[in-house]
Chains A and B, each alone.
Chain A
Amino acid sequence: MAMVNPKSRTVVTIPRPKVLHSANDSSEQPKPYQFSVTWETLLAIPQPVEIIETIPTTSALVVVDSPVVVAGPLEIVPRETPVYALQVVEPPPRPRKDEAAWEMVVPKMVRRQS
């Protein structure tokens, strides 16, 4: 049997065996052995566990508008390809140099005729 840590045991001493002797029997008596109650098995059990970080209970959850991911079928659903039409946009004609006269128009309040 493996040696056990003496600190982890409780010693239970058995009483001295009661042997009947005659009055003139001066022989020495056996010494009782020390028997112990042990629980080494229990002390060997726990093993460290992996720690998973937890959200502290004092924190509050903040609800924000965010895209919702919805579970869908695994196969790829073909999408309709949008049809694009080419539209040519002509830039506005630039004024010539001799037409480059600017006139400031100030909007003014006009009473509406009823």
Chain B
Amino acid sequence: MIDPTKAEWMDAAVGHFTTVVANPENASAHLNLAIWLQREEQWDQAAQAYARSLCIDPMLEAARIGLGACLLKLDRIEDALEVFQQCDDSTGPASFGKAVALQLLGRFDEAAGVYDVLLGSEPNSPETLANLIAMSAERRDLEHMREYSQKLLSIAPQSAVALQGLATVALERRDNHQAAKYCDRIVEVAPDCLEGWHNLRIALDRILSAFTASKPAASTTGVR
């Protein structure tokens, strides 16, 4: 007996491929096949189908964005950047793809410029802010990391990325009480985060050490 899920999958596959065979010059047929392949995480085949769709209709922006996203997945970052740069928009998804590609290529200044424009049009994009936090971490830019993390936390209070950003800044600056507070929330929202547990212990140890170091003087005063 055939698994119903597998049967549905087979139906979908046959349907998409049959449509493409019946309409070889139809860009939409290739686009739909590409979308289906992408959802099946067949990145290479999806990229090829997107490319065929674009050959037929070069104005199909959805195909261009899909192709760029698949190329990012295939770690063909330079190719992805070239695809995204062919799009006209300066604040849309293609622009976001361009920023991601630049960031992955280590061209941080260019990426920051594109992200700035994106934030101007959509200031509350969690993914843009999360990527900016990652870029701040790579650039060791603690001030921007704090800024983006606070912004992300204000729109997504359970964001582990935002809490990790703030914890990193606090640990780096030896603000141990803040570090302990953020690490405590990290292990609450992401119990599998081993770094969170480790850093919580570090922050508490530091607080305890500081308390112990100040205690003898206080005890002496107390005895007296």
Contacts and interface: CB of A to CB of B under 8 A. Distances in A.
Interface of A: 1, 7-8, 10, 12, 14-15, 17, 19, 27-43, 45-54, 56-57
B159 A39 contact: no
Given A38-B130, A39-B69, A51-B28, A46 B202 contact: no
B209 A27 contact: yes
Given A35-B133, A51-B26, A56-B24, A41 B35 contact: no
Contacts, number: 138
12 contacts: A12-B134, A14-B137, A19-B172, A19-B174, A27-B202, A29-B202, A35-B134, A35-B137, A38-B130, A38-B131, A43-B69, A51-B29
B90 interface: no
Interface of B: 19, 23-26, 28-29, 31-32, 34-36, 38, 41, 62-63, 65-66, 68-69, 72-73, 93, 96-97, 100, 103-104, 125-127, 130-131, 133-135, 137-138, 140, 152, 156, 158-162, 164-165, 167-168, 171-172, 174, 193-196, 198-199, 201-202, 205-206, 209
A49 B195 contact: no
Given A35-B161, A39-B69, A12 B138 contact: yes
Given A17-B172, A38-B127, A50-B28, 11 more contacts: A1-B156, A1-B161, A14-B140, A17-B171, A27-B202, A35-B138, A36-B161, A37-B104, A46-B34, A46-B62, A51-B19
